[in-house]
């Protein structure tokens, strides 16, 4: 069975219409979750805490889309 891990993270943006963080050292990593529903619940809870700050934004990253283990890696990718 394939795990579909999701990362929830957020922070203050330079401009609320873009996705550039003001300070990458200050990014809040909420956690890694085993499914989308758990990630969504965590995202929603964090987003609601910062609803009054238009520059704060939280995201859900689909970690399982970054690397599908069933797909063979290229020779360049194998080098790390």
Q: For the chain, how many structural domains are there in total?
A: 1
Residue 78 placed within a domain? no
46, two tokens: 């964090």
- Contact, 30 vs 6, CB < 8 A? no
Domain assignment present for residue 63? The answer is yes
Q: Are 6 and 63 in contact, with CB atoms under 8 Å apart?
A: yes
* pLDDT value for 65: 81
Q: Is residue 40 part of a domain?
A: yes
Q: Residues in the chain with pLDDT < 70?
A: 1, 67-80
Residue 48 belongs to domain with CATH number: 3.30.70.2400
Containing structural domain, residue 17: 6-71
- pLDDT score for 3: 80
Q: Is 20 a domain residue?
A: yes
The pLDDT value recorded for residue 72 is 61
Q: Model-level pTM greater than 0.85? A: no
Q: Is residue 79 part of a domain?
A: no
Identify the pLDDT of residue 80. Answer: 45
């Amino acid at each position: 069975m394939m795990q579909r891990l999701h990362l929830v993270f957020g922070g203050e943006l330079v401009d609320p219409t873009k996705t550039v963080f003001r300070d990458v050292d200050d990014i809040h990593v909420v956690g890694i979750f085993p499914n989308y529903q758990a990630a969504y619940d965590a995202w929603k809870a964090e987003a609601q805490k910062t609803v009054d700050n238009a520059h704060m934004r939280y995201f859900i990253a689909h970690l399982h889309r970054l690397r599908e283990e069933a797909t063979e890696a290229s020779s360049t990718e194998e080098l790390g």
